[in-house]
Structures are given as C-alpha cells and as structure tokens.
Amino acid sequence: MGSSIHSVTWPLLAVLTVSASRPAHGAPDVVTPVASSSTSPAPQPVEMRDVVWGSRYGELRHKPVPFQGNLMLDDPGLFRLVGREDLLRAYEERVGAREAITVGGLLTLVGSAFAFAAARPRLDCSGTGDCQTERSDGALAAGLVLLVISASLIVADATMAASPISDDERVGLIDKYNRSIKQPNSPRQ
C-alpha cells in the first residue's frame, strides 16, 4: 500500500508551567496548570499544506493535509471541527469494514493453508501390503477457492479508502468552515 501519513490530533487540555524553584532533595519539578481565561479564543482557520516525506525506497511523496495553526488534522478531527458527525460516523464505519475485511482475508488465507495441507497426497498401506496413494481433490478445490477469496479480500482492503469524502470535498468543507468563522452568526453545516 505504500507509505502513509500518521497524524495525531492533540487537544490542548491546559497550559502548564514548570516551577522555577527546585524542591529540596532532588524531588521532581512541580507542574502547575495555568488558569484559563473565561473567554475562549477565536477559532483559527484551517488551511491545506503540502506535507512531503520520503518513502523507504528513497522517493519523495507528498499529500495535501489540513492544518489548524500548527496542528495537523486527521479526518476524524476535521469532521468534528466542522461539525459533521455524519461524516465522522461514515469514517468510523469504513475503518471498521476495512478491519473486518483484513481479518476475513487473513482467516481465509489460513483456511486455505489448512485445506492445502489436507489435500497433500498420503500413502495408504493398509493390511494388504499393497500401498496406494490417496488424494483429496475436494480439499484441494476448497484450498484454491479460499486462496482466491483471500486474495480478493486483501485487494479490496488495499483499494478501499477510509475517508468517505474526496480531496475536493475536503477542501470544500474547509472553505465552508473558514467562511463560517469569519461570519460568526452563520451556521456551520
């Protein structure tokens, strides 16, 4: 599937300050939360930035990624920010479907390995002294069917996007959000 960007959304829970005075006997610094102001800061606009990274084969790759200030937004973070719970649910359902497809693909791959093992020719030398080779054609056919299903599931997982929207729709959501924060009385959806 190639390289992917792993982003983490880190909400700002509290601004912390470290005490300048060090307690006696090498105790750790005291961390004290700074009181937050009663007014919330104005929302920051979201912008698309081109993120560039190197693949393991030495080639450079790039992808436009949404940022709010210096915070990179993944799809769930962006959908929460713009107030689109429907897109958030669709994203989570797609991620769950991809995980189910992956598990199904791996289980059918293991099943095909067992079927091929069961289809291996066996030498039967029962009581008569005459040995014959026995083969299970049904197990071989089952192994082949499971192998094809497994490959299909793995390809389906690799080609299925987790995001329920296209890049153009993402830019449209961001533009709409940015317009709504410039005009505070307008609805976000």
pLDDT in tens, 108-133: 999 999 888 888 877 777 766 677 77
Question: How high is the pLDDT of residue 131?
Answer: 77
Contacts for 44 with CB less than 8 Å, ≥ 6 apart: 68, 69, 181
Give yes or no for residue 9 having a pLDDT over 80: no
Question: How high is the pLDDT of residue 25?
Answer: 45
Do 22 and 29 meet the contact criterion of CB atoms below 8 Å apart? yes
Question: How high is the pLDDT of residue 185?
Answer: 57
* pTM, to two decimals: 0.62
Question: What are the φ/ψ torsions at residue 174 (nearest 5 degrees)?
Answer: -65, -45
Identify the residue with better confidence: 15 or 84: 84
pLDDT in tens, 139-184: 888 889 999 999 999 899 888 888 999 989 999 999 999 999 886 5
